[in-house]
């Protein structure tokens, strides 16, 4: 080949390289020509994930080849309509922005199973509750002869732990203790409560509290981190020792309500002139201390919250969080809307609270308070879903779930129709347990969510 032609080929290669090399560099750096904008832009990445995985991804109406989990690269910066769908599951969709040289995450989106409810208990259920640790189910039921029973069973395998026959007259209620060691079952009659203590961690037979004390306790509580039981009677607080079959007075005062936290008793003192939040030690070493003065025009209930928080709910539906910051220092945070009920998240970093037409969430780390939903239809019950990125609530004879993710419009899913708002979430087995259907309003049903 002549020298002239070799030079032409070499010069041509150099020119082509000079022209193409910057384009290749731009391409590998994520630059693309945006025909809509008529300019070169730097692209972004969309990371799409779901639980369960292997779900179909639809981007701006077009199904992409990869399924979840998928990283979609080289997307021009703009808003994208994303739909994640899988057979036998509810769809999830949202508009998300992709930014230049950044990755936009959907997070791991929970897809809820689109299934029909199944019968859990073929009995006539009056009331039911799930234990705080999601290990037990307790309920009151009547058999075909209209005899009343209290039943306790394991949630994991539905095996029966206790079935107690109850007398017909009088009304019954029950509650699980905070420490998950006891269940308190009581019959209320003639302004008196007759308690039975059901042992959840041992094989002991149910114990009638009247065998230990003849006092008429209005409230029993057993705090976390302790096996002791504390009871309130006529404004006085007693410690009940099951091992010694005895009770002793620990606070002789006008107590309206109380809670125990970190070996201290926090209680509401109330007389005709004042209402105070006070504190004293269980060991008798800490003198009575006044922490907070409250309006006397209303009554209050006091409970342990998350970490170093107490909750104070007035009977005019004002909820306050009391942060314990030291021996005497507290921080009082009053939540804005009136409150019918509230629940702490499983990780204890958030609290949801609701009134008749609104659901709110408060993030304790950011102290941000956010409205999840406002509706003209009444809201009757709210709980955390098994995935704490979602909330379950009851509205218009339907159990629904709504996500916390506030980007674009929140996804709301109608899960199941139900004639009443009596439901609870079994977090461990990812199911909703609820009472009643149109055909069987007193039976207990379950709805699997995954």
Using CA atoms, how far apart are residues 61 and 80, in angstroms rounded to an integer? 10
Q: Which residues pair with 254 in a beta bridge?
A: none
Report pLDDT for 272.
Answer: 80
User: Do the Cβ atoms of 402 and 359 come closer than 8 Å?
Assistant: yes
Three-class secondary structure of residue 375 per DSSP: coil
- Residue carrying structure tokens 């779901």: 50
How high is the pLDDT of residue 92?
A: 97
Reading phi first (left if > 0) and then psi (alpha if -120 to 50, else beta), residue 146 is in left
Sorted by where each starts, the structural domains of the chain and their CATH numbers stand as: 43-110 (2.60.40.10)
Residues near 431 by beta carbon (within 8 Å), at least 6 away in sequence: 386, 425, 446, 447, 448, 449
Q: What is the pLDDT of residue 271?
A: 83
| pLDDT score of 366 | 87
Pairwise CA distance, residues 362 & 348, whole Å: 11
Per-residue DSSP letter, 340: S
pLDDT tens-digit profile, the chain (450 residues): 566 666 666 667 667 666 665 544 455 555 555 656 666 668 889 999 999 999 999 999 999 999 999 999 989 899 999 999 999 999 999 999 999 888 888 888 999 999 999 999 999 998 999 999 999 999 999 988 889 999 999 999 999 999 999 987 778 999 999 999 999 999 988 888 999 999 999 889 999 999 999 999 999 999 988 889 999 999 999 999 998 899 999 999 899 999 998 889 999 998 888 899 999 988 766 678 889 899 887 889 999 988 789 999 998 999 999 998 876 667 888 887 689 999 999 888 999 999 999 999 999 888 889 999 999 999 999 999 999 999 999 999 999 999 999 999 999 999 999 999 999 999 999 999 999 988 889 999 999 999
Instruction: Output the pLDDT for position 286.
Output: 60
The pLDDT value recorded for residue 287 is: 78
Distance from C-alpha of 390 to C-alpha of 432, rounded to nearest angstrom? 13
């Amino acid at each position: 080949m002549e020298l002239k032609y070799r030079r032409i080929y070499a010069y041509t290669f150099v020119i082509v390289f000079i022209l193409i090399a910057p384009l290749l560099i731009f391409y590998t750096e994520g630059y693309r020509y945006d025909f809509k904008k008529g300019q070169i832009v730097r692209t972004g990445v969309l990371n799409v994930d779901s639980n369960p995985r292997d779900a179909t991804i639809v981007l701006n109406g077009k199904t992409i080849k990869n399924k979840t989990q998928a990283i979609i690269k080289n997307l021009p910066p703009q808003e994208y309509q994303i739909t994640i769908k899988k057979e036998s599951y509810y769809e999830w969709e949202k508009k998300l922005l992709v930014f230049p040289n950044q990755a936009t995450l959907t997070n791991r989106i929970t897809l809820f199973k689109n299934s029909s409810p199944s019968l859990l208990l073929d009995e006539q259920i009056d009331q039911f509750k799930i234990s705080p640790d999601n290990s037990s189910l307790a309920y009151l039921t009547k058999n075909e002869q209209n005899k009343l029973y209290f039943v306790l069973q394991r949630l994991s395998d539905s095996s029966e732990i206790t079935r107690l026959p109850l007398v017909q007259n009088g009304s019954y209620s029950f509650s699980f203790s905070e420490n998950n060691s006891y269940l308190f079952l009581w019959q209320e009659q003639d302004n008196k409560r007759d308690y039975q203590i059901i042992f959840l961690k041992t094989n002991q037979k149910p114990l009638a509290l009247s065998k230990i004390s003849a006092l008429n306790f209005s409230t029993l509580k057993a705090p976390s981190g302790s096996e002791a039981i504390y009871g309130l009677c006529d404004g006085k607080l007693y410690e009940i020792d099951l091992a010694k079959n005895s009770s002793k007075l620990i606070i002789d005062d006008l107590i309206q309500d109380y809670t125990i936290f970190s070996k201290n008793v926090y209680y509401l003192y109330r007389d005709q002139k004042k209402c105070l939040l006070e504190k004293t030690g269980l060991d008798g070493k800490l003198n009575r201390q006044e922490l907070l003065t409250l309006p006397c025009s209303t009554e209050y209930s006091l409970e342990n919250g998350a970490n170093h928080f107490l909750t104070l709910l007035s009977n005019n539906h004002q909820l306050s969080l009391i942060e314990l910051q030291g021996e005497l220092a507290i921080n009082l945070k009053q939540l804005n809307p009136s409150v019918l009920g509230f629940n702490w998240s499983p990780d204890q970093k958030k609290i949801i609270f609701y009134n008749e037409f609104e659901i709110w969430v408060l993030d304790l780390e950011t102290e941000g308070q956010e409205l999840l939903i406002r509706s003209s239809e009444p809201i009757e019950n709210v709980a955390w879903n098994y995935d704490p990125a979602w909330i379950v609530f009851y509205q218009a004879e339907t159990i629904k779930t709504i996500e916390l993710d506030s980007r674009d419009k929140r996804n709301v899913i109608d899960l199941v129709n139900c004639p009443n708002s009596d439901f609870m979430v079994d977090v461990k087995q990812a199911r909703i347990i609820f009472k009643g259907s149109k055909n069987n309003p007193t039976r207990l049903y379950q709805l699997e969510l995954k």
